[in-house]
């Protein structure tokens, strides 16, 4: 009889099995991916903006921004790229949002 695990426990087990699988694969066959994470709250605070001002300036719905900052919503790759652009070039991102 197969044991039933909670979704969290099963996720951990699946992750560990992936690690074991990666270790068994020769290094020459591994594809390296670099992921740069950004923290929307850190970016917003660095720009000295409230959530509402940041939302308005960059066209991000305030609810989405709040969820990202609270960690209740995952940031997809397109949004991650936009946040990196805001972090590196805030004025250009604002200008693009305004259609300038």
pLDDT at residue number 25: 66
Least confident span in 27-36, 55-64, 80-89: 27-36
Q: What is the CATH number of domain 40-97?
A: 1.10.260.40
What dihedral do alpha carbons 41, 45, 51, 57 form, nearest 10°? -110
Residue 1 confidence (pLDDT) above 60: no
Domain definitions of the chain by residue range: 40-97
């Amino acid at each position: 009889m197969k044991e039933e695990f909670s979704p969290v426990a099963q996720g951990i087990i699946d992750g560990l099995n992936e690690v074991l699988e990666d270790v068994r694969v020769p290094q020459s066959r591994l594809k390296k991916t670099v992921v740069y994470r950004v923290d929307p709250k850190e970016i917003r605070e660095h720009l000295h903006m409230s959530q509402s001002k940041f939302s308005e300036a960059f066209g991000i719905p305030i609810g989405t921004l709040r969820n990202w900052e609270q960690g209740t919503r995952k940031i997809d790759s397109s949004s991650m790229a936009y946040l990196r652009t805001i972090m590196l070039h805030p004025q250009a991102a604002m200008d693009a949002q305004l259609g300038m």
